[in-house]
Chains A and B, each alone.
Chain A
Amino acid sequence: MSILIGRDTRLVVQGITGREGEFHARAMVEYGTPLVAGVTPGKGGQRVLDGRVPVFDTVHDAVRETGANTSCIFVPAAGAPDAVMEAVDAGIGTIFCITEGIPALDMIPVVESVRAAGARLIGPNCPGATSPGRAKVGIIPGSVHREGRVGVVSRSGTLTYEAVQAMTDAGLGQSTCVGIGGDPIVGTTFLDVLQLFANDPETGAIVLIGEIGGAAEEQAAEWAGQHLRDVPMAAFIAGRTAPEGKRMGHAGAIISGNAGTAASKVEALETAGIRVAGSPTELPALLRAAGLAG
């Protein structure tokens, strides 16, 4: 089954004729993702990726003509919130927003509208998701993955690749890897993804990769402590050496006073019975120690 994406995914890429959009759309197709359409206003009727993918002017057209049900957005920050709204209005159920640098206040009404429409937004400022062997949506390099039963959820991009590569090298494959994004306001939280993994029969273990800022890791840990006691879990938290009051690259990675520290997150996870690795390379051993066979 996997979560968020899978065999029934029919993907439309918004911003497919841009440099980033086209580069990553090609990688998605090469991975075997069912990419059925692209959208760039004014370029409807063209075909991209060696003629394999039709381009439409609007998401509505793409949905009507191709039955697209999932969107991946590479539209620049100024237009990205509206691109999410366009996908919602066109009836897309799962929306990945890769775009970085969207003002936080722009996302507040967008996240609420997505929720009210019963759709799901992942991101913004996220690397997307991969269900190894089936589909990849976003920018995570396909080469780091291997098929398996570990669900991975993370706020980062390259750190996720690092952790997933460590698991693949240790022979632990993944069911789905999801990057939820490094911004303060995101559509899908750690807790949301844990709940999806909990209901996925193909996910048998979970890795959570958090970082300083906010309290989403603490909230997820509390829920996991109550509901996922029988699921092998391990975690990693980036930013133990980060100073207070500085934004560490990600808009959301900031310690405010004594809130959002790595220590607070590590403590919450350990209280919930989840061991926290000192390095991403230790995650496979921690998962096995927590009871994951393989």
Chain B
Amino acid sequence: MKIQEADAKSLLLAQGMPVPPWEVARTPAEAGAAAERAIAAGADSVVVKAQVLVGGRGKAGGVKLAGSAAEAEAVAAGILGMDIRGITVRKVLVSAAADIVKEFYLSAVVDRASRRILLIGSAEGGVEIEHVAEHNPDAITYLRADPIRGLLDHQARRFAFAMGLGAHWKEGAAIARGAVRTMLANDADLVEINPLAIVRETGPDGAVAERLVCLDAKITLDDSALPRHPELETLRDPDEEDPADRAAREAGIAFIKLDGTIGCMVNGAGLAMTTMDLVKRAGGEPANFLDIGGGARADKVAAAMRLILADPKVVAILVNIFGGITRGDEVARGLIEARSVQERDVPMVVRIVGTNAAAAARLLTEARFETAATLDEAAAKAVAAARAAAKVAARVAGSPA
């Protein structure tokens, strides 16, 4: 699960990390008031940042500076409601604009290859680390935390020096430890601070000091661990979760909507991806990834059917079940039941093999479902059905009223 910058900053703050103060605003007036408070506290100007879960918000115009409360309100009015890569902006973060001396990059990730927590650091901050990895790989320093004892103090120090933090090594080592602590405390699979920056700050007495702070934060949480973090469930953004995604999550179905016309219902993630691939190979476009999981019963099949049919672009459905734990006859009963109540009828091609496949075949034949023996055949039939449906639709659309 991805969470927004403001929530990620809260999780960092909870671990004692240095994060400059911010406020979240839902209206231009709230943003203006937040800017007023920041300016009253000594800021020359503020930054207003769109809170969305997609990257590239800066390029999309979702991050702007403002020199006064009135300007912040105007800037926020432009950002709120803006569409960034298909997501409508409903919240902005307002904070004092930092006087940046130098930007760095620091992240902790769960590294699959080494099977350890991997710290990644660079003196080239403020840009995507993938870009640095491609153009200047030597500018990146890596450190793997001990798998049993965690990140040791000397490791964190070595990392901070290697990152080029110089005089700020002590703060850097503390932030590296804090990033790992944040990861462990919340079961995150990514904690990214970019930029981590040396900023110049003027105290109330006029004294100027430099310190290392987390200016932006991105955290993704391990979905498998959410059951033991009920407090993090509130960070799920209802504005950004598609109704279909929510319905799928609540039904325990892995579902990802795509752009095509052929709905897919499959048991098993690898087989579900393969089914999509074979639809494409047969000349069609899959409308979704859908894994009903192992041992699915009739009610789950019905829920999956509703999810697929809720997409108006779907003109044909391919059901592919390889029964292991899942019993083919259960799925067949679920399909028959779902079809009897569904509001929209689209051609369906069903392939059920494995456990109780013979019983499934009898049920499907009686109910006059179109069936297929192999996955390749099922994909070809579903693509043919989708093409026929598209032709009918074109004829209807083209016929005189």
* Min C-beta distance of A262 to chain B, whole Å: 8
Segment from A7-15, A36-44, A48-56, A278-286 that makes contact with B: A278-286
Residue interface bits A224-254, CB-to-B below 8 A is 1, else 0:
0000000000001011111100111111110
Asked whether any CB of chain A lies closer than 8 Å to the CB of B258, the reply is: yes
- Tell me what chain A mostly uses at the interface: helix, strand, loop, or mixed: loop
The CA-CA distance from A108 to B109 in the complex, in Å, is 12
The CA-CA distance from A243 to B354 in the complex, in Å, is 29
Within 8 A of A (CB), among B115-168: 115-117, 130, 147-148
Segment from A159-167, A195-203, A267-275 that makes contact with B: A159-167
* Min C-beta distance of B73 to chain A, whole Å: 33
Q: Are B374 and A249 in contact (CB under 8 A)?
A: no
- Known contacts A139-B325, A215-B113, A247-B223: does B254 contact A162 (CB below 8 Å)? no
Given contacts A159-B274, A185-B110, A281-B376, 10 further A-B contacts (CB under 8 A): A113-B148, A139-B324, A141-B324, A154-B270, A158-B267, A160-B270, A162-B375, A182-B269, A236-B274, A258-B130
Q: List chain B residues, Cβ under 8 A from A182.
A: 269-270
Asked whether any CB of chain A lies closer than 8 Å to the CB of B32, the reply is: no
* Min C-beta distance of B350 to chain A, whole Å: 16
Shortest Cβ distance from B134 into A: residue: A258
The CA-CA distance from A109 to B150 in the complex, in Å, is 9
Q: List chain A residues, Cβ under 8 A from B376.
A: 279, 281
Interface residues on B, range: 35 or more
What are the 7 A-B residue pairs with the smallest beta carbon separation, nearest first? A156-B270, A249-B269, A158-B268, A159-B270, A103-B225, A112-B147, A238-B273
Within 8 A of A (CB), among B231-281: 254, 256, 258, 266-274, 276-281
Interface residues on A, range: 35 or more
Asked whether any CB of chain A lies closer than 8 Å to the CB of B283, the reply is: no
Asked whether any CB of chain B lies closer than 8 Å to the CB of A45, the reply is: no
Q: List 9 A-B contacts (CB under 8 A).
A: A101-B224, A107-B115, A139-B325, A141-B355, A156-B271, A158-B271, A158-B322, A159-B273, A165-B322
* Min C-beta distance of A172 to chain B, whole Å: 16
Segment from B87-95, B96-104, B181-189, B208-216 that makes contact with A: B181-189
Q: Please indicate which of the listed interface residues A23, A102, A185, A212 has the most CB atoms of chain B within 10 Å of its own CB.
A: A185
Asked whether any CB of chain B lies closer than 8 Å to the CB of A293, the reply is: no
Residue interface bits A209-231, CB-to-B below 8 A is 1, else 0:
10110111001000000000000
Asked whether any CB of chain A lies closer than 8 Å to the CB of B7, the reply is: no
Residue interface bits A5-44, CB-to-B below 8 A is 1, else 0:
0000000000000001001000000000000000000000
Segment from B21-29, B38-46, B286-294 that makes contact with A: B286-294
* Min C-beta distance of A141 to chain B, whole Å: 5
* Min C-beta distance of A27 to chain B, whole Å: 10
Q: Are A162 and B222 in contact (CB under 8 A)?
A: no
**8 Å CB contact of A253 from B258, B266, B273:** B273
Asked whether any CB of chain B lies closer than 8 Å to the CB of A97, the reply is: no
Shortest Cβ distance from B253 into A: residue: A249
The CA-CA distance from A199 to B176 in the complex, in Å, is 43
**8 Å CB contact of B147 from A109, A156, A240:** A109
* Min C-beta distance of B335 to chain A, whole Å: 17
Shortest Cβ distance from A237 into B: residue: B277
- Known contacts A111-B147, A214-B113: does B277 contact A104 (CB below 8 Å)? no
The CA-CA distance from A112 to B254 in the complex, in Å, is 30
- Known contacts A105-B110, A139-B325: does B289 contact A242 (CB below 8 Å)? yes
Q: List chain A residues, Cβ under 8 A from B223.
A: 247, 251
Asked whether any CB of chain B lies closer than 8 Å to the CB of A120, the reply is: no
Q: List chain A residues, Cβ under 8 A from B322.
A: 158, 161-162, 165
